[in-house]
Amino acid sequence: MCLPAFPCKSSNLEKVAGVLPDRGEELALRRLYSVLRQIESIYEPGAKLCIISDGHVFSDCIGVDDDQVDEYGDRLLELNQTIGAQMGQTDQIIFKSLKDVFNTSPEEILGESNARQITFPTLNHYLETTISPDTEFCRQAMTIGCQPSRESLRSQIQSQDPAILSLYRGFSRFMLEDLAQHPRFQTMSKSQRKKTTEKTSFEMILRNQAYSNLVELCFPDYVRLSIHAHVNSGPKFGITLFERAKTRVIDDLGDLESIAKPSHDLLHIPTPWHNCVFQMVGSDITYVTKSKVIQDALESTTVRGGWVQGSLVSGIGGYFQIEGPDGTENNTIETPPKPVVGSSVCETDLESQESIQKIKEGNRNCVAWIFEGIRRLAQLFTSRQLPSQSEKKKILEC
């Protein structure tokens, strides 16, 4: 399987606690290893996961230096290696970056003399970031080989294409928030910020499509996972990076009672690189929120606490730990209801164990069918024969 994810930390320090992996990435990796273990329990050959980092695809658009993306990736590899060793699955999760996909330079591909004669496309950079020549070449190569037409995208936006226009506006809103703390952004007027985010959003849509095409081209036989919500009928399948039974997303720390309320936002999947995590003393629940929420609460004395330093080489990420203003544990926090296996929401109305068991059995059948389809495809590719109509039908049924 492959999962495009783990790009780099957001440049907005009101969203994240720093630029390196922390407890969020640790929990996400442990969750993915847990998923692989569950697959192995019902499909004996098991599964492997290739995480394809998209950090260098967008880093210049989101105000992050290329070398910072490299540092994030290197520390993430350390964390993954330790967690994998702890779980006895050292080779089940691997990482590949944009540079790993191309793994070369123009001189190595074309020869030094030919490389000097070729003009690569000049990419648009709307923010001041440090650009690595090798990384820029990879972005240029991706653009040449996989990016759709700029004119076509512009035409779709101008003609008010509903899907594209919604995506464009969504990117614009996201970038306006994500770049809010960027030094260059803070010197701009409101109209300049809007114009910059619109240009950046246009560029990101193009690169997002180019990157998606590149993944499909380089990983054609992989089951494609996604951190975004999908109906899970294919070709992409959504996966959450945090265990819902042990994680709660909150937007406010105005009072301690607010975090005892269950989260009803089941549409947006939180990620470690746009959030930070904290633990409440006396609770085994992990809370996901923006770093500004915690900083504001600490400054207002609603809570007290601070940052707990981690050790990535030991498999432990840093996190915030907080407690009530009087130093007592918060006993009002309740463990959220555990989601029923196979359900996309936290259902609590299935009372009988028989019903739950039926759902589990159904899930086992679904996974078995998926891998049976993959097995049949692999046999056909090995024999280099095109599938017949009846074989196509059987594969699609799987």
The residues spanned by each domain of the chain are: 2-238, 246-323, 353-397
pLDDT digits (tens, 9 = 90+) for 123-176: 999 998 999 998 999 999 899 889 999 999 999 999 999 999 999 999 999 999
pLDDT digits (tens, 9 = 90+) for 208-254: 999 999 999 999 999 999 998 888 888 899 999 999 888 888 888 87
**CA pair distance 101, 95, nearest whole angstrom:** 10
pLDDT tier, 379 (very low <50, low <70, confident <90, very high otherwise) = low
pTM: 0.78
- Give the other-Cβ count within 10 Å of 303's Cβ: 21
**CA pair distance 225, 236, nearest whole angstrom:** 5
Q: What percent of the chain has pLDDT over 70?
A: 74
